[in-house]
Amino acid sequence: MSFATKLLLNSTRLWNGIGISCRFHTLMRPIAPAETLTTAINHNQSLTPTANLQQGLLAPFNALLQQVAGFKVKGRLKRRCKDCYVVIRQERGYVICPTHPRHKQMAMKKRDYKSWILTHATQSKERGF
């Protein structure tokens, strides 16, 4: 395997793994497996190694995009199906659903002043002094 074909295979693997999206994590999977690319390159065609490299780099990029969303941030959590379950981690509640990933929810973080513990304060009508 020549240096140009190794470079071409590594660059296609690199570009197949990169996906940039606004709010979603993107998982990319090439339509044609890498084996077909190697067999096409291994057949000694009348192309020079630089032409093979240019042909691979200039080819249109076809990939199936599967977008994966994160947690929905809610004020009150609720189970949306029978498989949803509630977990509390790091002082937050999470709803996790193995069958429907779109049911994932996360409780809003409580503001600091809402969780303060007041000492030496009274709410009664009668004063102690």
HEC letters along 4-32: HHHHHHHHHHHHHHCCCCCCCEEEEEECC
Please indicate, yes or no, if residue 5 is contained in any of the structural domains.
no
Choose from 56-60, 81-85, 118-122, 125-129 the range with maximum mean pLDDT.
Answer: 81-85
93, pLDDT greater than 90: yes
Please indicate, yes or no, if residue 89 is contained in any of the structural domains.
yes
pTM here is 0.41
| pLDDT bracket for residue 115 (50, 70, 90) | confident
pLDDT, position 4? 73
pLDDT, position 21? 45
Please indicate, yes or no, if residue 77 is contained in any of the structural domains.
yes
Please indicate, yes or no, if residue 78 is contained in any of the structural domains.
yes
Please indicate, yes or no, if residue 123 is contained in any of the structural domains.
no
Q: What is the mean pLDDT of residues 99-114?
A: 90
What range defines the domain where residue 83 resides?
72-109
Mean pLDDT for the chain? Answer: 73
Please indicate, yes or no, if residue 85 is contained in any of the structural domains.
yes
Domain count, the chain: 1
Please indicate, yes or no, if residue 91 is contained in any of the structural domains.
yes
Please indicate, yes or no, if residue 90 is contained in any of the structural domains.
yes
